Chain A
Amino acid sequence: MSTEIDTAPALTESQARALFEKEFVPHLDAMYNFALRLTNDEDDAHDLVQDTCMRAFRFIGSFEPGTYAKAWLFRILKNNFINDYRKKSRGPTKVEFEWVEQSFAGEDDPEPAFQADLQAETVNEMLGDEITSAIQALPVDFRMIIILCDLEEFSYEEMAKILNIPIGTVRSRLHRARAMLKETLASYAMKKGYKTDMLSA
């Protein structure tokens, strides 16, 4: 069970408002983009960002000014998403979920079986829609880590905190996610008849 004590922020009204404007608002575009990539639905993304902000605001008293608010907010967003996502997909209960997460936390993701043969020029010629659908096609854990790293430029250490996994897992999961992304793009390219070599081992 989560301990949700309704802590009134130990701040005055104007302090809390100012903190919101200064620390949250600059990250809203990035949060919305992350939420949209995760849910693939504008209404769900809207709700997810709103819930994240309300939760963050409720615990704003525990936020230390000067620390990296973006990583803190992304961590809350990711936790909210996992809880909601689990509800919607009628997955395991929270306790079971945490057990699953922990049991995998110590292990690195396995090495990708192969690297797709994809050329930089092919990627440069691709349409934005193809790139976004290749991202959406990734399993959510891999999609998440690619967005955090390549789009939001979080460090490995920050991603480890946001995702609650060891740094070694961040590194191997990223490597695997990128191999999967390249594989998907290579398959699009082959379908469209871009010139690529066959997939090689």
Chain B
Amino acid sequence: MEMIRGYPDYMRESIEKVEKTRPQRLKATFKAMTLEEREQILNEYHPDYKPEAKRDLKIGPSKGQRLPHEVADLLEAHPLIDPDDVDLSRVDYDCDILIIGGGGAGTVAALWAHYSGVPVDRMLMTTKLRHGDSNSMMAQGGIQAADRPEDSPPRHYLDAIGGGHFTNKPELVKALTMDAPAIIQWHEELGVMYDKDDKGVMMELSGGGTSRKRMHSARDYTGMEIMRAIRDEARNIEVPVLEFCPAVELLKDDQGRVAGAVLFNMETDQYYVVRAKAVIMATGGFGRLHIQGFATTNHYGATADGLVMAYHVGANLIDLDSVQYHPTGAAYPEQIVGLLVTEKVRGLGAQPVNKNGELFVFPLEPRDVESANFIRECYGRDNGIITPTGMKGVWLDSPMIDDLKGEGTIRKNLAAMVRMFERFGIDMTKDPILVFPTLHYQNGGVEINDKAETSVPGLFAGGEVEGGVHGKNRLMGNSLLDYNVFGRRAGINAAEYVKKVTPGKLSLDHARKYEEALKNAGVETDRKAPMLLPDYRGNHVLSRALDIF
């Protein structure tokens, strides 16, 4: 197989067709789908609409909810720790607020709890990897906020709720869209380098499903730029952080309130008992569950731990039946399969085209609709391009961007993307790139209200772990916003809540009851949860592994 500028020769033939149709496509548009058309293609081609991929949950407060098998498997699993192994009489950390998860939501919660009067030495943040190693660091495209005169929060509301197929909780969407401009202004105060013109006017782009240009970005490292700034701020005020110490189980007190957690130091295998007046769950999403075998854009620690822990203490779950596949995951080369190609590539004008160089879909449909169109093109119409490892994908005609927006636009605005492909010999300013939907976002989660409270007293949640904000489908740029809005609300409301609370006697009885419920429901399994980290060791190793150390 001969390689020419990063692609095998046979793929080059298709690229030539893409190049041939480009001049006429530069002027072409494609009609957006009607609501009926959307529904039809989703039913036929979206992985989420396959009934066999899901089952009804057998236990707990959300019993009967339909969930992907991979999520149900974790909820119908034994708690990772045996309550009898843990000595709750010795408390290692005593604090007002325990924040679980050092990504965006957790960090924002810490800052706002601090602004609301909780001293930093009365907080503890614990996280599974390093502070900041999270999905929040990886967002490229942008964050929504209706701050232009031609836009408004109600309009943002309408876009978000329509994008979510009208299943979102209205009070949450209201909070999301009304808080948005204040969040961006807070970021400005913190020194986030948003893309602006020299007069300070935000340079905003459209995103899938938005009716106004509303996407604020910081080149294509938006998530990183925000995360870096808030983390730096948390370090300046000295928020105590335990790294590589995931929470493995929440603690309750004798009044049924959440009152701390058991942490596990993954490097020493030691556990710590944390007593806290309130707990903020900010553990992010579940991409690393590889639902239906999909590759994922998510970070290493996105394993739904927070869902599991919250469910053990009796929190409601919502909208977890729906999973977001991002239409443009890298499909080639093999080393980066599944990694995100930001929506901004389409936002800037790149069109999806099939193996014959034809534009086959409106480039900025909501994500689920766009994904379903890609899957139909590959598997329904056989117009996909096959990679050397047998995967299929469609072209994203990136070089168009420079034609449309001027030479150098791609390098300036999509530096991270250019770099990712360049490392493997592909120049996306000259050649299209191959994409296919990838597992991207947990649309639902632990149900909260607009104060970021869950259904269990003492337990707050913000960010991707919670649900209700986006309904059955999230629009791009609304989840960075989500973690800021509800991370902030969790911090503020938890700070208020802890003023009135004295934790009672700590207990893990809920874990014992969970075991019982499993038994009663007839679940027989050796699965344990939370998962903490996925295991990617080679089969030849796992098949000969001994558990003796």
- Is this pair of chains taken from one and the same complex? no
B: residues with CB less than 8 A from A are none
